Each structure stands twice: as structure tokens, then as C-alpha cells.
Amino acid sequence: MGSTISRIAKKFGLLPQYRLRILMVGLDASGKTTILYKLKLGDLLKTKPTIGFNVETIEYRNICFDVWDIGGQSKIRAMWRHYFLDTQGIIFVVDSSDRERISEARNALHSMLSDNELANTPVLVFANKQDLSNAMTPTEIADKLGLHCLGQRPWYIQGTSAHSGFGLYEGLDWLSNNVPCKAEEFSYCSIPHLFSHRNDQNEFDLKLIEMEKEVVIT
């Protein structure tokens, strides 16, 4: 099977990549969806409050980050736990200018991290909206969020601006270095319709056989 995938990859000029499931959460209006589509499209989109979730695959270096952006309104936060299973990394987005709700953000973060499903899952905090004049510094936010109380859990805080893109890829660099990649997460992300759903094994095998025949014939 491995040699077959390699031949297909060479035919289509693909590079081997890893898939990582990333959960992106935070209070409402912190800029999560704006960040998601800035990373995905390289542009700013007019967004509205997320009711439910958005999911996009961000290809960066040799990793496909499958990013799940979950709504942050208070009534929706109780639903976050339904997305914890198989999460390999967390992006927690904070509005650096929202001093009134920083304690609320801290409570939401620590409540989420108390779930056993997320034990030792690395946490990347995006201190977003650093372009605003009244923004708290990443150091100040780290203190107010109680990040130093997370024990052995890997964490990092990165100042960002969703509008300019400042700091976003530095955050992905940290995730790529701190979320362990397992062998079963190896794939070729440029053909996600074949490789993104691990449970569709029968359909995958049939498509792989068809593509292998094409490689052999040509």
C-alpha cells in the first residue's frame, strides 16, 4: 500500500504531509473566524458570529491543520466538549483589547482544559487585536489567563493581528513543533477527498486501486 501511495504522489507532484486536528475556541468576538479565513485565503472576510462551527484545512509547511472554529457565545460554550475527541492541539483566541472580559476568558479556558479528553493537549493562545492601541501585551494576558498554572501542559502565547496576519504563522510554527505527529496521521493533503476520512476505508481502497491502474497504464 505504501509503495502505491508513493507512486501516486510522484505522478501528481504531491509532498507527504501530516494531518493535525486543531480546535480553535475563545469568547465571542475574539476574532476566531477572521483568523481562520485569513490563514485559509490570505484575505479578510466579512464575518458574523459563529453559531455552530466552521472547519477548514490550512496547509502550512508539511502539515495540514484541520481547524475547527467553534462559536464562543456563552450559551454555545457548553457544546465545546462535543468537539474534544481526537483533538491534538488547541488554539485559544483572546481579544487583547477586551479587558472587561479577560476573567471570563480565563474561566472558559480553565474549564475546558479540566476535561480529561484534553489532558496534556498543547495550547496556543493567540493574543489577537494587537494592532489596537489599548491592547494588553501577551505577557499581561498570559498572567491574567493563569497560563503559568497549567503545569506540564505545553503552552505558548503569540501576539497576533487577524487583519494584518501578524503572528499567525509563528503560532502555527509552534504548534507544528509541539504537537506530536503519529504515523497513522501521514497523508497527502492535496487530495483530501481521498485521505481525510479514515473510516471510509472501502471507498478509499477502490479509488486507490483505480488511481494505481492509471499510474501503471501511463
For the stretch 67-90, pLDDT in tens is: 999 999 999 999 999 999 999 999
pLDDT value of position 136? 99
Binding residues for Mg(2+): 33, 50
Residue 158 falls in the annotated catalytic set: no
* DSSP element (H, E) containing 87: none
Chain centre to alpha carbon of residue 15: 20
Could you please report the per-residue DSSP string of 2-71? HHHHHHHHHHHT---EEEEEEEEEESTTSSHHHHHHHHHHSS-------SSEEEEEEEETTEEEEEEEE-
C-alpha cell at 199: 473510516
Binding residues for GTP: 26-33, 72, 128-131
| Whether residue 48 has pLDDT greater than 50 | yes
Q: Spell out the domain ranges in the chain.
A: 16-182+193-217
For the stretch 85-144, pLDDT in tens is: 999 999 999 999 999 999 999 999 999 999 999 999 999 999 999 999 999 999 999 999
- Among candidate residues 73, 88, 152, 201, the one labeled active-site is 73
DSSP 132: S
For the stretch 180-210, pLDDT in tens is: 865 455 555 544 443 433 444 444 444 444 5
For the stretch 157-183, pLDDT in tens is: 999 999 999 999 999 999 999 998 654
User: Given this structure, which CATH class describes domain 16-182+193-217?
Assistant: alpha beta
Q: How far apart are CA 50 and CA 62, in angstroms?
A: 29
Binding residues: 26-33, 50, 72, 128-131
